[in-house]
Each structure stands twice: as C-alpha cells, then as structure tokens.
Amino acid sequence: MSKITEIVPYELAGMRLDQVLAELFSDYSNPLDIVFEDDSLLIVNKPAGLVVHPAVGNWHGTLLNALLNHDANLETLPRAGIVHRIDKETSGLLMIAKTLQAHNSLTQQLQEREITREYLAITRGRMTAGGTVDEPIGRHPTDRKRYTVRESGKFAVTHYRVVQRFSHYTLVQLKLETGRTHQIRVHMAHIRYPLLGDPVYGGRFQMTPNCKPELEKELRSFKRQALHAAKLGLIHPVTEEYLEWEQPLPDDMVRLIDALSANEQ
C-alpha cells in the first residue's frame, strides 16, 4: 500500500494525488488573525483549538488550510511557509515565510537560536522563584504521543520567571532557547509545576483548598493547557531589521487570572 493511502482518510483512497491535495487543502473560510504582513513575512495570532498542519483526524480547518486560502502562492513553499508550530491548544504568535528566501532565513535563525520566543503560562503549584530547565527531551519510551526528559533526548533549554503568585497556581513567563516538541509542557512537568489544563503532563483539574465557586467555574470550563505565545522577535529576511511583536493574553486566560486574583481576596 502506498504511503498516501496509508495516511489519507478512507474516502480519499484511490484518488489521484492532485485530487487528494485539493481535498486536503480545501478552502478554510475562517479568516486569519493577522498581526503583521509584508511581501516576505506573515505573523498571525493562532487561537487555541486550531491545528497547525493537516494530519490524521484533522484534515480540514487547519492553519495551513487558512494560509492557502489567504495566499495561494504559499503552496510553492515547504509546509506553506510555516517554519515553526505551536500545539493545537496553545494560543499566540506564529511566523510564516512568504518567499523561499524568507523561509531559508527564518529556518537559519531558528537553528542559530536568534528568534525571540516568549510565552505566558499558568502552572499548578505556587513557585517560589524563577530559574532555568536545561534537560534533554525525547519521545516517551512507552507512549509515542508524549515526550519526556531523558538522557538520549535532544538538547533543550527553557528559562522561566514568576509574574504573579496565587495560593495554588503561578503565572509565569517562559523564554525558549530551543524549540522541541512540547518543550514547555515537558519541562514544567519535570520540575513538578505542570501547566494548568494539561492532563497529558499532569495538569488535570483538581479542586484546591479555599476554592470559591467563581474560581471553580472558571477552572472547570478551561479546556486547554494555559499556554500563550506572547512575544515573537526576529531579524527581517530582507531589511535585516530586528522586529518584535507582542500579543495580549486571550480572553479565556484573562478570565482565569481574574478569578485566581479574586479568590485571593
């Protein structure tokens, strides 16, 4: 059996490759939340719940579909110009190259760790101080959908600092030196401060002492990991100017932080 028939939905099996691609990359009507765009770059604010690339179970309605609907020329670039990605349930800033020159430049900047990527997250547990997690990350030995800290993994470094403490949670700012899959989620779980709303890495909802009804309501309704890509900085591939963007927290995280603050009173 060919690889294409192994990965596409059953109803697409047997179709010509061009027909399959047309179906997989069909128009996605939801507009992009564009933060910046010129002839070389596109910076978007990805909402939580939006998958970046089509894959098994998510062939339609992905960010890649939306990008191709926005600019059909992106079809000529690797992964439609997407040079990095954030998890489905993570919100925030994502960069897309619009030309091969920009794609090569941004890829090189990522490899040389010249891209600024900062996140805001809410962790379970009250942190006393910030720090750095310098631990290699690799696939979990028994669960292939998860990653874990392991000696045979890839080099990974995450810096974190406390922004605001609550009785049983902490709002933290995180800065990536590397960009491994699930890096922040794995590193925070490793130091026993898993991200709130992340059952895969130990952040499943739990009732805490002195939790008022308003906070309990927000916690129970929060259905994703509390992680937001808040800042992105890079060197423009053409002008070589350093550019930086910041994206405020989405409403669901703002409501949660407000409820956590009110619960302290």
Question: What is the three-class DSSP state of 169?
Answer: strand
Chain center to CA of 124? 19
Instruction: Judge whether 38 counts as a catalytic residue.
Output: no
Give the per-residue pLDDT at 6.
39
CA–CA separation, 61 and 68 (whole Å): 11
CA–CA separation, 59 and 37 (whole Å): 26
CB 147, CB 181: distance < 8 Å: yes
Give the per-residue pLDDT at 61.
79
- The pLDDT profile of the chain, 265 residues, written as one tens digit per residue, is 333 443 444 445 555 555 555 555 555 556 899 999 999 999 999 999 999 877 656 666 789 989 999 999 999 999 999 999 899 999 999 999 999 999 999 999 999 999 999 999 999 999 999 999 999 999 999 998 899 999 999 999 999 999 999 999 999 999 999 999 999 999 999 999 999 999 999 988 888 888 999 999 999 999 999 999 999 999 999 999 999 999 999 999 999 999 999 999 8
Please tell me which residue in 38, 87, 134, 143 is annotated as part of the active site: 87
Rounded to 5, what percent of the chain is helix, strand, coil? 30, 25, 45
Give the per-residue pLDDT at 27.
52
Domains of the chain: 1-112 (3.30.2350.10), 117-234+248-265 (3.30.2350.10)
Give the per-residue pLDDT at 31.
82
Give the per-residue pLDDT at 242.
98
CB 64, CB 28: distance < 8 Å: no
| Other Cβ atoms closer than 10 A to 255 | 16
Q: How is residue 82 written in tokens? A: 């997407």
Q: How is residue 165 written in tokens? A: 């403490």
Give the per-residue pLDDT at 207.
83
Closest CA to 214 of 262, 253, 249: 262
Backbone φ and ψ of 146, nearest 5°: -115, 165
pTM metric for this prediction: 0.88
Give the per-residue pLDDT at 227.
98
